[in-house]
Structure 1
Amino acid sequence: MSTRSNDQGRAYEYAWMKTLYKVLRERRKTRIVDNSSLHANAKAWTLIDKKTQQTFIISAEFAIDAVLEMEPRMSENDDDELVLEFQKDGAGIKGDVRDIVVRRDNIKWEIGLSIKHNHDAVKHSRLSYKLNFGKEWFDMPCSDAYWNAVTPIFDMLKNEKDKGTKWSEITEKDEKVYVPLLQAFIDEVNRACEKDKDMPRKMIEYLIGKKDYYKIVSRDSKRLTLIHTFNMHETLNKPSKDKDSDIIVPVVKLPTRLVALEFKPNSSNTVEMFLDNGWQLSFRIHNTSTKVEPSLKFDVQFISMPMSVLSIECKWN
């Protein structure tokens, strides 16, 4: 991610924090936790121009009512304190993708928001000569068969790196690199699935997070804010003392079976994964640098998600 898009992402998170605080403090006792993430996001906010700041605030303002409607406990005027907190940056590595946590400690209740600016990528992952993706993704170290398949490919790439070779100078990249690496990936996922029946669930939890949340995506050019609901563990959409939400947030079933994992038709750099309960993903492998490295990036995207993941469009009038 470029420095500019990283700053914009942080600034958009800050716009949401500002908007939440402004709206909620008028309704109830509210506090923002002072931490390093707050300072980093506040700094990013000062680095963007006034017009972009205004766009980000508009994006948050037109979506906040939908969030408050789904979560009556946020604006419930009780005597306790509502806390707004930016997560520390390392949380995502541990499977918690929420950027902002909203909580009320006295009733042991919290919800989270994952805030995205102009992109909807699931997770940036890699395959490399040392990265044990099985251990990281579904807590099962990669097999010797996997390492035996990929090590010669990465050794060749290391050798080319030492020579200063550019990716554009590698002939037959598809046949020598992409296809065999992806085939090794397919074989390893299938092996893991045979050993651990919970592997499909663990894999999706690695990609989308283990905790429930609302994913908020700003599409500036379309003047639109999207809200996706990820209510896997039934912690979202709880009623307050005097209000049930008019919007019902369904429970999302995680997958239990890997149905198919295969190359996308007519593609040598993308595989598609089909799971039960409505989950479908694509994994596109690609290089991100001009010069050869023994590491390749995975761009992971959803082809489709369960119908129970609501997608709410908030247009900026």
Structure 2
Amino acid sequence: MSTTTNRGYGFEYSTIKQANYLLEGNIGPETKNWITKTGLVKYNMLTTNEQEGMERASNRIIEFLLEYEPWLKDEPIIVEHVKAKGGATDVSDVRLSSNIHKSVGISLKSNHDAVKHPRVSPTIDIAQNWLGIPTDNEYMLETTEIFQHFNKYSQLNNYTKFKELSNSEKDELLYKPICEAFSELLIRSFNGKDGEVAIRHILPYLIGDRDFYKAKADFKRNELTVAAFDFNGTLGTRKRIHVPTRCLEVRVEKGKRDGMHNYISLNFDRGWEVKMRLHTASSKIENSLKWDVQFVGIPQDAWRSNFRF
């Protein structure tokens, strides 16, 4: 597993550990299992300097939460790793909950801004998931044909792993046609009779259906940026953020590093901008890819603050 993945899991473990200690909380059984099998294992793979930096950043996050979410001082707190619960639509990594059903989620980012990693395949009703409307037959047929052609080409050339293909082959046979098919589906959906529904659904799908804080740590500069994604008015910053009402542009782009057409940029009103990178979901060739979704632009009046740690 990559150093980036170890760092991400390590940061999650560090925050769970510090939250449990500073808030005198309790860790749920699923989270204890995750710590034993994953969190602590990845944390121990990091250097001492990396661990110390994560502990400082985690402490600063909890200090911030105690300032803006003072109920954390007064209630018995349950500390959970969200993904350990399975099937969660919450994009938070760590959630702190009280016995009176109040909770706050934290999305932890270690030098990157990805928010979600949804899959794409010939069988996924992707518009229903993303936009709340049925995927049209044009996209489903086109995607099926792309994967079928790609699989036939791979079999003829005895390819079993994606790394056996050149960037040019992956781009022309898979990445570029999938990105073009998906971008055209988005354009048709946003401009169709259910366009308002599609616009209203896409950000809550990518962000999740619960308000949360995003904490991004830059461990080289020892800087922490916290942003409040408060759509429903549940966060202590009391600064609501508004979803877009229109999509201004959908654009397929080439990656700067490898030149493949595996990026889609979405520009909305109210200052929202989303960039998605298409990549393989497994080392072996299969009918499934993943989107790495990042928010590269959020409203200028959104609440955010910077801290040192």
TM-score by length of 1: 0.80
Aligned structure 1 segments of 4 or more residues deviating by more than 6 angstroms: 288-291
**Residue pair 1:157, 1:293 contacting (<8 A) in 2 also:** no
**What whole-Å deviation, never above 9, does each CA across 1:264-305 have from its counterpart, x for those lacking one?**
489733222111222111223344667654443323222211
SS of 2:166's equivalent? helix
**Residue pair 1:70, 1:249 contacting (<8 A) in 2 also:** no
Compared CA separation, residues 32 and 50, structure 1 to 2 (3 A): farther
Compared CA separation, residues 295 and 167, structure 1 to 2 (3 A): farther
**Residue pair 1:228, 1:309 contacting (<8 A) in 2 also:** yes
How far did 1:249 drift? 4.2
Counterpart in 2 of 1:154? 147
1:257 aligns with 2:246: yes
Equivalents in 2 of 1:128, 1:234: separation in Å? Answer: 36
Where in structure 2 are the equivalents of 1:135-150 lying within 5 Å? 135-150=128-143
Tell me the amino acid that sits aligned with residue 219 of structure 1.
Answer: D
Counterpart in 2 of 1:28? none
Counterpart in 1 of 2:232? 233
Return the index of the structure with the highest Cα Rg. 1
Compared CA separation, residues 278 and 141, structure 1 to 2 (3 A): same
Tell me the amino acid that sits aligned with residue 251 of structure 1.
Answer: R
Equivalents in 2 of 1:39, 1:5: separation in Å? Answer: 22
Tell me the amino acid that sits aligned with residue 119 of structure 1.
Answer: H
Compared CA separation, residues 103 and 167, structure 1 to 2 (3 A): same
Equivalents in 1 of 2:27, 2:292: separation in Å? Answer: 33
SS of 1:314's equivalent? strand
How far did 1:157 drift? 0.8
**Residue pair 2:91, 2:115 contacting (<8 A) in 1 also:** no
**Residue pair 1:273, 1:282 contacting (<8 A) in 2 also:** yes
Alignment RMSD: 2.8
1:130 aligns with 2:130: no
**What whole-Å deviation, never above 9, does each CA across 1:152-178 have from its counterpart, x for those lacking one?**
22111111232333321865x545443
How far did 1:100 drift? 2.2
Equivalents in 2 of 1:89, 1:162: separation in Å? Answer: 37
Counterpart in 2 of 1:182? 179
Tell me the amino acid that sits aligned with residue 168 of structure 1.
Answer: S
Counterpart in 2 of 1:73? 71
SS of 1:129's equivalent? coil
SS of 1:300's equivalent? strand
How far did 1:136 drift? 2.5
**Where does the alignment leave 5 or more consecutive residues of structure 2 unmatched?**
none
How far did 1:82 drift? 3.1
Equivalents in 2 of 1:74, 1:209: separation in Å? Answer: 23
**What whole-Å deviation, never above 9, does each CA across 1:220-244 have from its counterpart, x for those lacking one?**
222222212111110000xxxxxxx
Alignment match of 1:37 (pick from 31, 34, 43): 31
Identity of aligned residues (%): 26
Equivalents in 2 of 1:290, 1:88: separation in Å? Answer: 23
Tell me the amino acid that sits aligned with residue 257 of structure 1.
Answer: R
**Residue pair 1:60, 1:225 contacting (<8 A) in 2 also:** no
Equivalents in 1 of 2:282, 2:95: separation in Å? Answer: 35
Compared CA separation, residues 151 and 167, structure 1 to 2 (3 A): same
Counterpart in 1 of 2:59? 61
Counterpart in 2 of 1:217? 216
1:272 aligns with 2:265: yes
Tell me the amino acid that sits aligned with residue 268 of structure 2.
Answer: L
Tell me the amino acid that sits aligned with residue 89 of structure 1.
Answer: A
Where in structure 2 are the equivalents of 1:290-305 lying within 5 Å? 293-305=286-298
Equivalents in 2 of 1:265, 1:21: separation in Å? Answer: 44
Number of aligned pairs?
Answer: 294
Tell me the amino acid that sits aligned with residue 119 of structure 2.
Answer: R
Tell me the amino acid that sits aligned with residue 262 of structure 1.
Answer: R
Counterpart in 2 of 1:202? 201
Equivalents in 1 of 2:144, 2:212: separation in Å? Answer: 38
Counterpart in 2 of 1:84? 79
**What whole-Å deviation, never above 9, does each CA across 1:7-33 have from its counterpart, x for those lacking one?**
4433322211222233233xxxxx313
